[in-house]
Chain A
């Protein structure tokens, strides 16, 4: 059974004009969000994106932008309590990643 998260929330954007079709985004994406056809990348289904940022960081021409982060409620809560961005540094108690 396929697991899919909330629709229409991903911040993933691809600038097709900048794209050189190297295919690195398709290599690094753990959810097969990209496909490369005719030397251009395309987003197949942005709702599958988990915003890990691998594609953007490995795009040699900065054609991809995404608000990178971890989809972790504990991190969001910790960040909120500390007044910072979502923070997945849970200290040394080893309860999360």
Chain B
């Protein structure tokens, strides 16, 4: 049996719920929403951005209005409702523990079982006159459309990848090939850079401060350089950095920054080589984690490059430290 086809069973008590009071929401994007999105991107209390799961009414939808499913992450919910401006619809919010649609689908929390549960518990079949739920296409890794149909009677229609294409999708009655493709352009990448910088900054900023206080001012600067290279240059320059491997691309970004910083720093060729090894490895380590933010890396590929990169990082850092230590005591 296919690994992806887990068996789902619904407990009978879920099947006949009475519709609860349905909250009405608007499609407006307010200044508060914008601020919340900014804070979430920088990881400020991000897990507070949960929407209560359940059924919502956008405007005053009729029984034949379309039903759109989404995750209970505020940014996902906002992307959906604000792109349905001027329309009335039912929004079905799955409990994905505050995680966006695609990531939750990868984990299975945006999944067949949860969709079936929320359809049953909200009494959707009594609220609407049709039997179709429109899902974001990126929910598909967690959902088996044919199983949802079998368990709930509702057909799953996969809408576009991006909520902004929804009006056009509704107008055409289908998604164009372009709407079905995931991109990873400059703005897609840069919007994810802060999370990466905050995550590694937590370790590398104190490390740089400590080096600075201990008198290793140049190394404090190189440490910040490695953070900048792996956390900001890798997302910014991803298509132009050499190779397909993220470890190689990130090492290249690290070497570039290390070399630029070296222009303002007097040191022997051996010391420069040592720092290139250490901070190139550090940037490579940081940048390799951007595979998680990217939209096109596979698990098999990441496993393959990590098997090579992890020992290479350790060896490069060790060799660099030895060269620096030997130089100091000679």
Distance of A69 Cα from B181 Cα, bound (Å): 19
The residue in chain A whose Cβ has the minimal distance to the Cβ of B286 is A73
Shortest A62–chain B CB gap in Å is 5
Distance of A60 Cα from B144 Cα, bound (Å): 8
Q: How many residues of B are counted as interface, with CB atoms below 8 angstroms from the partner's CB atoms?
A: 61
CB <8 Å contact, B299 and A71: yes
Interface of A, helix, strand, loop or mixed by DSSP: loop
Q: Which residues of A contact B46 (CB under 8 A)?
A: 94
The residue in chain A whose Cβ has the minimal distance to the Cβ of B146 is A60
> Interface 1/0s, chain B 134-148, versus A by CB < 8 A?
000110111111100
Interface size class of A (residues with CB under 8 A): 35 or more
CB <8 Å contact, B141 and A68: yes
> A58-B140, A65-B2, A88-B292 are contacts. A71–B301 as well, Cβ < 8 Å?
yes
CB <8 Å contact, B146 and A52: no
CB <8 Å contact, B138 and A67: no
Distance of A77 Cα from B305 Cα, bound (Å): 12
Q: Which residues of A contact B158 (CB under 8 A)?
A: 27-28
Shortest A38–chain B CB gap in Å is 19
CB <8 Å contact, B291 and A71: yes
Pick the contact of B181: A32, A74, A86 (CB < 8 A).
A32
Pick the contact of A68: B4, B291, B302 (CB < 8 A).
B4
Q: Which residues of A contact B5 (CB under 8 A)?
A: 56-57, 62
Distance of A34 Cα from B181 Cα, bound (Å): 12
Q: Tell me whether B304 is interfacial, beta carbon within 8 Å.
A: yes
Taking CB atoms and an 8 Å cut-off, the chain A residues in 42-64 that contact chain B are 48-54, 56-60, 62, 64
| 19 further contact pairs, Cβ within 8 A, besides A72-B289, A95-B198 | A1-B240, A2-B239, A6-B301, A7-B244, A30-B161, A30-B181, A31-B182, A48-B296, A51-B299, A56-B5, A68-B4, A68-B141, A70-B106, A71-B302, A72-B299, A73-B288, A73-B302, A76-B302, A76-B306
